[in-house]
Structure 1
Amino acid sequence: MHASPELPGLPNLRELGAVFDHTAVAAPRIRDLLPIYHDLLGGVFRGGGDNQLGGFRAMQLTYPGGSKVELMEPLAGSTFFDSFFELTRGRGGVHHLNFHVDDIDLAVSLLTERGYRLHGLNLGDPRWREVFLHPKEAHGVLIQLAQPGPRDAEPVPSLDAVLAGRGRRGNGIPSPA
C-alpha cells in the first residue's frame, strides 16, 4: 500500500534532495541513436564506457540548459536488455529516468515505508549506489534513484573510443556497426 502524498510526517524524495538528472534511451546499437540525439538534436558527447557487471555500454550527451540523455546498448553476449527489447519489439526506447538523491539509504527507507516494490538495489560501490522503482509501481516507467559518490579523475574518452570499446572500463569489443 502506498501512502498518499498528503499524509503528514512522510517527506517526499524532493524534500530529501532528489534532483532529476537524465533520461536513458536504450537500443540494440548506440549507433542507431546517434543520428537523432547527437546529429539532429545537437547533443554534445560528455563521456561513456562499459559496465561489465551490468552488461551494457553507455554514453551521455548534454544539451543547452544542462539536460542530459544517456544512450545505452547491450555488450556482446549480454542479456541485460532482453526483456526490455522484448517489450519494445526489438526497437528499444526510453529505458529509465534517473534522479540523484543525497542519501540512498534514506530514500530506500522512505520507499519501503510507503510500500513501493524496489528492484535492482545496488549499494556495494561507493562511487554509484542505486535502486530502481519497478515499472509496475510507476505506470510502466523504470525510475532509477542514485547517489553518486567520489570518483577518481579519469580522462574523458572520445565518442569514437567508446564506440570502439575503449571507453571507461571498455571491453575492447566495438559496438555493432
Structure 2
Amino acid sequence: MTVEEGADQRPWLDHIGFAVPDIGPAAELVMSALGGEFQRGGDNHDYGFRTAQFHLRGEVKLELLQPVDPGSDLQRFLDERGPGVHHVTFLTDDVVGLERDLTSCGYRTTGTKLDDPNWRETYLGPSQGLGTVLQFADTVLDWHTPWPGIELADVMAGALTWDGARLRR
C-alpha cells in the first residue's frame, strides 16, 4: 500500500461482527463475561438483519448480527458456516484513497458504496480478506458514543429500525 511520507494512512480497527442465530444469549456473554457495554442497534430491513453493538475495553466494538429475514444473506451465512465471525470493519480517513491503494496492490474490492456521506464503504471478500469479509469505511459520525434512550431490550424486541445513521421507532 502506498503511504505518503510522514502521513499515517493506515486504517484502524473499529469493530468485529459476529453472525448469531439469536442476539439474546450472545449479548449475555458479551456483557457478563467480556464487560461489553451496549451502544446501539436495530433492524435493518434492507439487509434482513438485526444488529446490536457493544463497546469493549479499549477502542474496539463488537457487533452481533441476527437474521430477521429467512432469505437474507446473513441467514445463508449461518446455514452454510454456523455462528462466528462475519466481518471485520476498519475505518479510514479516506475510503476512496484506500480503495485506490488496495486496487493498485492487486486486490479486487467489492460492494463499494459512496453515495451516503455519513458512511462510505468498500469490501474485500473472504478469499482476499484473511478468510473473512474486510469492510473499510470512512464516516463523519461518532460511532463511539451510545445513542441516548436506546436499550438492548428495544433492539431485541424489534422496536427499532436502523438504516445507517437513521433510527426509527
TM-score bracket relative to the smaller structure:
0.7 to 0.9
1:36 aligns with 2:29: yes
| Structure 2 spans left out of the alignment, 5+ residues | none
- Per the alignment, residue 73 of structure 1 pairs with 66
1:46 aligns with 2:14: no
When you count strand as a share of all residues, which structure comes out higher? Answer: 2
Q: 1:156 Cα deviation (Å)? A: 4.2
- Per the alignment, residue 105 of structure 2 pairs with 114
Change in Cα spacing, 1:59 to 1:51, as seen in structure 2 (3 Å) is same
Q: 1:76 Cα deviation (Å)? A: 2.9
1:136 aligns with 2:141: no
Take 2:113 and 2:66, find their aligned partners in 1: how far apart are those partners? 20
Q: 1:65 Cα deviation (Å)? A: 2.1
Change in Cα spacing, 1:140 to 1:17, as seen in structure 2 (3 Å) is closer
| Structure 1 spans left out of the alignment, 5+ residues | 173-177
Take 2:141 and 2:17, find their aligned partners in 1: how far apart are those partners? 22
1:27 aligns with 2:20: yes
Question: Aligned AA for 1:33?
Answer: A
Contact 1:157 1:168 in 2 (8 A): no
Q: What does the per-residue CA deviation read over 1:14-55, in whole Å, with 9 as the maximum and x for residues that have no partner?
A: 932411111111112112312321222221111111222222
Take 1:127 and 1:78, find their aligned partners in 2: how far apart are those partners? 28
1:161 corresponds, among 136, 154, 166, to: 154
2:57 corresponds, among 43, 61, 64, to: 64
Q: 1:160 Cα deviation (Å)? A: 0.4
- Per the alignment, residue 11 of structure 1 pairs with 3
TM-score, normalised with respect to structure 2 = 0.82
* Stretches of 4+ aligned residues off by more than 4 angstroms: none
Take 1:156 and 1:116, find their aligned partners in 2: how far apart are those partners? 41
1:96 aligns with 2:101: no
- Percent identical among aligned pairs is 32
CA-atom RMSD, angstroms?
2.5
Change in Cα spacing, 1:156 to 1:145, as seen in structure 2 (3 Å) is farther
Q: 1:97 Cα deviation (Å)? A: 0.9
TM-score, normalised with respect to structure 1 = 0.78
Take 2:149 and 2:117, find their aligned partners in 1: how far apart are those partners? 20
- Per the alignment, residue 149 of structure 1 pairs with 140
Contact 1:108 1:131 in 2 (8 A): yes
